[in-house]
Amino acid sequence: MIGALIYLQVQSIKNRLRVRLRRLKKPKYLVGAVVGAAYFYFFFFRNLFTGRGGVAAGTADATPPETLLMFESLGALALFAMVLSAWIFPHERAALAFTEAEIAFLFPAPVTRRTLIHFKLVRSQIAILFTTLLLMLITRRFGGGGTAWIRAVGWWLILSTLNLHTLAASFARTRLLERGVSNWRRRVVVLSALSVVLAAAILWVRRTIPAPEASDFASLDTIKYYVRHALESGPAFYVLYPFRLVIRPYLAPDAHAFLLTFGPVLALMLLHYWWVVRSDVAFEEASVELSRKLAERIAAIRAGGNWHSTAGKQKKKRPPFALRPAGIPAVAFLWKNLISAGQAFTLRTWLFLALFAICIGGPMGASRLTPGWLPPTIGIVTAILAGYSLLLGPAILRQDLRQDLVNADVLKMYPLRGWQVVLGELLAPTAILTGAQWCLLLLAVTMFSRIPEGDAVPLTNRLSFGAGAAIIAPMLNLISLVIPNASVLLFPSWVQIGRERAGGIEVIGQRLIFMLGSVLVFAFALLPAAVLFGLVFFLSRLFLGMITALPLSAAVAAAVLAAEAGLAIWWMGRLFERFDLSAESVS
């Protein structure tokens, strides 16, 4: 029977590959596949076994043992947090994810629960192997590991053991529910036991580990030493020891060290496997219910609707603001798309984040007890994140025409001009990005109170820089969002629309092409504003001073960008009025 299930998995993989290969007959997928393959080759595979990758592997022995021990301790701590969350947070019964076809054919078949579990374990290995390859490529430049195969097997051991433990924990939770132990009682027991362990650990730590002093946070090296010493002393060493065993094969510098650490991890994984296959827990009903919910969610997403409406009883969502019966049409689109973005993007959230930035950043940036390098480092990192959000934000936030264009026939029925629809669709992601950037800028202004290992930065200069960035940020976001939305109207068959996310190397290639094109168009759109910003800044600095020059120049540049965005929205509105979804090939 296991052979038949493996045959089913192999045939499913072959069919997926056939579908992907047939799609390459279309130019949009062929060009995307070529670009995606070139990207993966030049950035990952080209130097994996030779060249720079070989140099990196050959210098693994030079990694200090203290650094490897710190990586091992931090990895064990992260793994411990994942395992603990599997016992505390989930509340549902054990449910294995099956498709509707698998439920229709396998559940009525004369197969045991153990066989179904084996089927899911074999299927999960496909995702684990793909994730292993991805993590091996991402982490090949750091981590202190040895050759590529050592890193790959190390990641496979970590992911497989974690997957088995998560599945075993779900079976254990179901067994407790069957015996009358509710979710809250289980959580209370787990948290109580954890509290007792933490209390004992704190008492032990007080006797074995000295309290941190200011000198322990003077530099990154002292912080590394203190963290490593804390995780290797007292009860932390014994609590994290099983998790250290799982992490060690990945950090092995050579084959000999890997073989010495491979045995204990393999024994732990086999123990978890025995635990899973020996668990006699009824998961069929919960699996059928999970499959039904997944099918309804996929169908709702493909139809362009909200999958929450088909997911049974849901808490009534609070709208971001009260929508009046009459008003500006664009505000109605803003209201709708903010609801679609989720409960996190509300005015209350932004006010809380702003208050947090002021209450945390202000005292920390002004305190003399804080290490001198820490506040400016946080300020620089937050400023960099605000800059990166200009490029990454439009790719993440898709509550605009990229999501709603599948309902173009409905949008065209509204008694609105095309530019009104386009403007309304752009407001929600622009508002979300602007709110996030303002919070980051507020934290950067409060934190960057001094130059690292240098003089203090006056508050007036920081406020001037923050005000200038805050003034120009909304228009920069609007321009950055105009580009992908215009691409949807110009090339609807090349850009993914709707809520369903496609995958594959050809889709990655398409996104790379449009990302490069978007960066070039964005840079070209900034040229007039940048030239005028520089001219106004030079003149106003001579006559008004530095503090006034930055906000004034930013306001002038923002006005130029607003004019460009207005022209682009008017042009996109004309495109939308002539747009016919039925005449476009979006498959």
The tokens 């054990």 sit on which residue?
Answer: 94
pLDDT for residue 94? 57
Residues 378 and 460 in one domain: yes
pLDDT of 78 strictly over 60: yes
Q: What is the mean pLDDT of residues 312-322?
A: 62
Check residue 394 and give its pLDDT.
Answer: 85
Asked if residue 11 belongs to a domain, the reply is: no
- Residue 568 in this model has a pLDDT that exceeds 90: yes
Residue 221 lies in a domain: yes
CA distance 479 to 297: 33
Most confident of 37-46, 174-183, 479-488: 479-488
Domain count, the chain: 3
Same domain, 413 and 540: yes
Task: Give the model's pLDDT for residue 488.
Answer: 85
Q: Is the dihedral of CA 406, 410, 413, 419 positive or negative?
A: negative
| 101, part of any domain | yes
- pLDDT category at 560 given cuts 50, 70, 90 is very high
Q: Distance (Å, rounded) from C-alpha 159 to C-alpha 127? A: 10
Residue 583 pLDDT exceeds 80: no
Q: What is the pLDDT of residues 189-227, one digit of tens each?
A: 666 766 766 666 566 656 655 555 555 555 566 666 666
Q: Is 42 within a domain?
A: no
Flag whether 196 is in a domain: yes
More confident residue, 15 or 378: 15
Q: What percent of the chain lies above the pLDDT cut of 70?
A: 67
Given a contact cutoff of 8 angstroms between Cβ atoms, the answer to whether 378 and 443 are in contact is yes
Mean pLDDT for the chain? 76
pLDDT digits (tens, 9 = 90+) for 485-500: 888 888 877 777 666 5
**Whole-number Å distance between alpha carbons of 387 and 402:** 23
Where does 360-502 have alpha helices with state H?
A: 362-366, 374-396, 401-404, 408-411, 418-447, 459-490
What local confidence, expressed as pLDDT, does residue 96 receive?
66
Instruction: Label residues 434-473 b or e (16+ Cβ within 10 Å = b).
Output: bbbbbbbbbbbbbbbbbeeeeeebeeeebebbbbbbbbbb
Res. 557: pLDDT tops 90: yes
Q: Please indicate, yes or no, whether residues 418 and 310 belong to a single structural domain of this protein.
A: no
The mean per-residue pLDDT over the stretch 125-141 comes to 79
Domain-located, residue 183: yes
Q: Tell me: pLDDT of 48 over 90.
A: no
The crossing angle, in degrees rounded to 10, of helices 329-341 and 418-447 is 60
Asked if residue 560 and residue 473 are part of one domain, the reply reads yes
The answer to whether residues 486 and 473 belong to one domain is: yes
209 and 355, same domain (yes or no): no
Residue 24, domain member (yes or no):
no
Residue 323 has pLDDT above 90, yes or no: no
**3-state DSSP of 148-210:** HHHHHHHHHHHHHHHHHHHHHHHHHHHHHHHCCCCHHHHHHHHHHHHHHHHHHHHHHHHHHCC
Instruction: State the CB neighbour count (10 A cutoff) for residue 432.
Output: 22
Based on the domain organization, do 462 and 551 belong to the same domain? yes
pLDDT, mean of residues 499-521: 77
At residue 471, the pLDDT reads: 92
Which of 52, 73, 44 lies closest to 137, judged by CA?
44
Which tokens sit at 250? 């990945």
Whether 538 has a pLDDT exceeding 80, the answer reads yes
pLDDT above 60 for 305: no
Are 307 and 358 within one domain? no
- Residue 450: strand pairing partners: 456
At 102-116, the pLDDT tens digits run 777 777 777 777 777
Residue 395: band (very low, low, confident or very high) from pLDDT cuts 50, 70, 90: confident
Tokens found for residue 41: 């080759």
> How do the residues of the chain divide into helix, strand and coil, expressed in percent and rounded to 5?
75, 0, 25
- 276 vs 237 pLDDT, higher one: 276
Measured CA to CA, the distance from residue 412 to residue 390 in angstroms comes to: 30
Cα gap 326→243, rounded to integer Å: 60
* pLDDT per residue as tens digits for the range 453-467: 666 777 788 888 888
334 and 275 inside one domain: no
532 & 480 share domain: yes
Same domain, 425 and 510: yes
Question: Mapping DSSP to helix (H, G, I), strand (E, B) and coil, where does residue 548 land?
Answer: helix
Of 257, 281, 86, residue with least CA distance to 175: 281
- The number of helices, as runs of H, and strands, as runs of E, in the chain is 23, 0
Question: Who's near 187: CB < 8 A, 6+ residues apart?
Answer: 88
Q: How is residue 585 written in tokens?
A: 């090939």
The span from the CA of 307 to the CA of 300, in Å, is 5
**Residue 73: domain span:** 66-282
Q: Per-residue b/e over 529-538, b at no fewer than 16 CB within 10 Å?
A: beebbeebbe
Q: Within this chain, do residues 297 and 256 fall inside the same structural domain, yes or no?
A: no
Q: What is the pLDDT of residue 307?
A: 43
- Residue 54's pLDDT is 45
- Look at residue 511 and tell me if it is in a domain: yes
The whole model's pTM is what?
Answer: 0.68
Residue 453, C-beta contacts closer than 8 angstroms, at least 6 positions apart: 372, 373
